Amino acid sequence: MRRLIMLLALSPLLLASPGWAQDIQETASPEEAQAVRDEIAKIGCKAETIEKERDDLFEIDDAQCEIGQYDIKLNKDYKITSITMD
């Protein structure tokens, strides 16, 4: 009976675990990060951390640009696909 109660109590955690794994974002490799930095420098922006959301998408939260702070997304070819004011 205790095992059943314990299992029922922990079941939401066990079911939610795959969702947590999807929220973990990878940091871009040094080579990828440099390519992203080179591209965003063309528009007057700098970034400390570059996340790799997927194999074909990079994201920068809080990029410091000459005209303000922005979130920037780039595709796998290091081309900017989205810039939003932060």
Instruction: Write out pLDDT tens, residues 32-83.
Output: 999 999 999 999 999 999 999 999 999 999 999 999 999 999 999 999 999 9
pTM, rounded to two decimals: 0.70
CA distance 16 to 18: 6
Hey, how many other C-beta atoms are within 10 angstroms of the C-beta on 52?
Answer: 18
What residues contact 43, with CB distance under 8 A and at least 6 apart? 65, 80
SS3 at position 25: coil
**Closest C-alpha among 45, 47, 53 to residue 27:** 53
- What pLDDT does 46 receive? 98
